């Protein structure tokens, strides 16, 4: 039977579309404050906003006679008719926010217009009016929202931990602070101030505050325009790339949105400058004729449609690509750390560097030649093998930690190397062809897993600790999984509200940029959205670390280094596949050789 739903059920259905979690409540009320002309907005929460949210602004306030109407569904001051819907300039316009919030929360409003002497205190719970009285208060509005989903406990069970919910709110306010730099934002969580901007209308200042000095110093300003739109903001140099899109922030007419068109334009523009599956840092603001966009696509107003998609794509792509193309990115190697920074140099500086390069002195040329010859793999005689054990004439790159191997070492003979990557070995009754990268990856992985099982991580302490500035969600994930990082070999210390010090790194991975490795692990945890107590997830991180640290194909290994590597690999129980499943070894038995040469039938 078809029937018309009652108003309470209708309100709860609407609330389900608009109010997903505490951050959705904050989003709607902060946008209302911005639309009301506020220049200062303070958000205070307790228990991640689940039990308490207070949002205070110095905007225009609500007229006392319109307050009850404001909480009715589809009541709004933002639009009057269909024509207004086609040219929206405000953040809110549907008139669903207050009614939806009041349907599933206990709401208290204190508000006063600047021209009024007294204000109004209004309470509504579950859509039912509780209190309406005059009070003394400053101009503007204060919303207090308590006990989200108090009357729908089934939905409350789907909320995450207070820390996680609080971090969603912090990320939301971070985005507003990047867009509306003319507004002073304050965010307080459980009595601690997490965000405090000064409203000086300087985007770079807010980026510095939210992401740290390292990010702020690696920014390039962008400014471009097309027939119907203009684009301003900052993009990061490639060194700021991350493993997910969390640092890609862009706004359309002051609204934070997500767009496949814009995503594709940004990623294509960076394609020549970034490795695969790396994403850049951008904070970009697009101003466009509002008649050319449709934001009435989804209740959260996060999606948007452009009628001039090609123009928007070209504007973003050209602005970013030309900016990156016009700066010269020269890697500068730091001899004290494994990490390297990207520095911007002018053509003049580059020319001077080339001019200062000199030809080595004769004795230096001889030493380099001897070192090069010593690194060329050859077929050693037995006498040479014995001499190699006794002599340490040349200093080699130490790829492996010297460790006692308890089991008997496997006996094999190295025949030589082909194509700069594959080694031929005679082992028992087989000829083995070994991929040096896959073999080294397997050895590193097994060592790491063994230390994790034994709770004995091998850590190299850093003389100069590295500082990492993290977002709210990154902090949440790191602190939930701190033990995993420690088991792998990282040593971390809290350093301020949003910073951590890396004081020690995994000793087997010193040839990998430690900060990059740490952030990649954090990014993958963020992307999966779960704690790393799951065995499969931990193994995945260990495999990634091993792959990055392993010697690559075409890297020159000395005979002694190769011998050490194959001794360790062949002593393993399952040496024939790397952690990602690729074969380390291809074998051909003596029987197969004899059959191929028709020695046996």
Report pLDDT digits (tens) over 262-314: 999 999 999 888 877 788 999 999 998 888 887 655 555 667 778 888 999 99
Count, residues in the chain: 601
**φ, ψ for residue 268, nearest 5 deg:** -65, -40
Structure tokens at 167: 């971090």
Distance CA 496, CA 504 (A): 18
Contact between 400 and 443 under an 8 Å Cβ cutoff? The reply is: yes
Cα separation, 251 vs 181, whole angstroms: 13
Residue with tokens 């050319």: 292
> In the predicted model, is pLDDT for residue 444 greater than 70?
yes
Mean pLDDT of all residues in the chain? 77
Note the pLDDT tens digit of each residue in 346-393: 343 343 344 334 444 443 444 444 444 444 444 444 444 444 444 463
Percent of the chain scored above 90 by pLDDT?
24
How far is 379 from 341, CA to CA, in rounded Å?
40
Dist. CA 541–CA 226, nearest whole Å: 44
Strand ranges in 58-102 using DSSP code E only, listed in sequence order? none
- Residue 570: pLDDT band (50, 70, 90) is confident
| Among the listed residues 119, 35, 118, the one whose alpha carbon sits nearest the alpha carbon of residue 77 | 35
Element (DSSP H or E) covering residue 349: helix 347-356
- Can you tell me which residue has the tokens 């997903």? 20
Report the candidate in 51, 21, 24 with the shortest Cα–Cα distance to residue 160.
21
pLDDT at 147: 92
pTM: 0.65
Of the pLDDT bands very low, low, confident and very high (cuts 50, 70, 90), residue 398 is: very low
CB contact set of 96 (below 8 Å; sequence gap of 6+): 14, 17, 18, 73, 74, 299
Q: How far is the CA of 421 from the CAs of 380, 437, 546, in angstroms?
A: 18, 8, 17
Sheet with 459-469, edge to edge strand ranges: 459-469, 499-506, 491-494
Which residue(s) pair with 506 in the sheet?
459
The rounded distance, in Å, linking the Cα atoms of 543 and 446 is 9
Question: In what helix (H) or strand (E) does residue 252 lie, and over which residues does it extend?
Answer: strand 248-252
**Range name among 385-389, 444-448, 469-473 with the lowest pLDDT average:** 385-389
pLDDT digits (tens, 9 = 90+) for 89-110: 555 544 477 888 888 889 999 9
What are the φ and ψ backbone dihedral angles of 341, each rounded to 5 degrees?
-110, 155
Spatial separation of the C-alpha atoms in residues 316 and 232, rounded to whole Å? 10
pLDDT band at 86 (very low <50, low <70, confident <90, very high): low
Instruction: List pLDDT tens digits, range 193-251.
Output: 888 898 898 998 899 888 888 888 889 999 999 988 999 999 998 888 887 888 899 99
Q: How many CB atoms lie within 10 A of CB 49?
A: 26
């Amino acid at each position: 039977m078809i029937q018309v739903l009652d108003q309470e059920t209708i309100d709860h259905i609407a609330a389900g579309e608009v109010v997903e979690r505490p951050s959705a409540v904050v989003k709607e009320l902060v946008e209302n404050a911005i639309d009301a002309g506020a220049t200062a907005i303070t958000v205070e929460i307790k228990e991640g906003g689940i039990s308490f949210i207070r949002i205070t602004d110095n905007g225009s306030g609500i007229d006392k006679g319109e307050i009850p109407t404001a909480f009715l569904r589809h009541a709004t001051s933002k639009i009057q008719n269909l024509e207004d819907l086609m040219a929206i300039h405000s953040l809110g316009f549907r008139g669903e926010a207050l009614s939806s919030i009041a349907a599933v929360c206990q709401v208290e409003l204190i508000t006063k217009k600047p021209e009024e002497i007294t204000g109004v205190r209004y309470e509504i719970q579950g859509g039912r009016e509780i209190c309406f009285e005059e009070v003394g208060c400053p101009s503007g509005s204060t919303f207090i929202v308590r006990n989200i989903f108090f009357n729908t406990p089934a939905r409350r069970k789907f909320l995450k931990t207070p820390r996680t919910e609080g971090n969603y709110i912090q990320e939301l306010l971070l985005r507003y602070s990047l867009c509306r730099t003319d507004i002073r934002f304050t965010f307080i969580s459980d009595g601690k101030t997490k965000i405090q901007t000064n409203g000086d209308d300087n985007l770079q200042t807010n980026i510095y505050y939210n992401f740290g000095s390292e990010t702020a110093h690696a920014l390039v300003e962008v400014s471009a325009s097309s027939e119907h739109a203009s684009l301003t903001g900052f993009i990061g140099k490639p060194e700021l790339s991350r493993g997910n899109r969390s640092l890609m922030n862009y706004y359309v007419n002051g609204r934070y949105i997500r767009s496949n068109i814009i995503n594709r334009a940004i990623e294509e523009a960076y394609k020549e400058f970034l490795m695969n599956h790396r994403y850049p840092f951008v904070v970009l603001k697009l101003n466009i004729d509002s008649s050319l966009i449709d934001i009435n696509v989804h209740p959260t107003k996060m999606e948007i449609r452009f009628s001039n998609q090609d123009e928007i794509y070209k504007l973003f792509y050209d602005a970013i690509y030309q900016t990156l193309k016009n700066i010269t990115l020269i890697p500068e190697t730091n001899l004290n750390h494994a990490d390297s920074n990207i520095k911007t140099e002018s053509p003049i500086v580059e020319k001077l560097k080339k001019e200062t390069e000199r030809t080595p002195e004769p004795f230096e040329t001889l030493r380099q030649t001897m070192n090069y010859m010593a690194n060329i793999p050859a077929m050693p005689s037995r006498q040479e093998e014995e001499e190699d054990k006794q002599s340490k004439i040349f200093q080699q790159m130490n790829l492996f930690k010297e460790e006692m191997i308890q089991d008997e070492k496997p006996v094999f003979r190295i025949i030589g190397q082909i194509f700069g990557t594959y080694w031929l070995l005679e082992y028992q009754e087989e000829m083995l062809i070994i991929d040096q990268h896959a073999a080294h990856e397997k050895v590193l992985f097994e060592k790491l897993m063994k230390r994790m099982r034994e709770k004995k991580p091998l850590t190299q302490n850093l003389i100069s600790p590295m500082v990492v500035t993290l977002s709210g969600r990154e902090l949440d994930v790191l602190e939930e999984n701190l033990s995993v990082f420690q088991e792998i070999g990282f040593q971390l210390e809290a350093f301020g509200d949003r910073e951590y010090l890396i004081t020690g790194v995994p000793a087997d991975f010193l040839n990998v940029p430690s900060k990059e490795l740490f952030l990649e692990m954090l990014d993958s945890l963020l992307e999966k959205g779960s704690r790393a107590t799951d065995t499969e997830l931990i193994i995945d991180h260990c495999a990634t670390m091993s792959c990055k640290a392993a010697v690559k194909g075409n890297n020159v290994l000395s005979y002694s280094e190769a011998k050490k590597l194959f001794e360790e690999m062949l002593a393993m129980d399952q040496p024939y596949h790397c952690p990602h499943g690729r074969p380390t070894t291809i074998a051909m038995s003596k029987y197969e050789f004899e059959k191929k040469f028709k020695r046996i039938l």
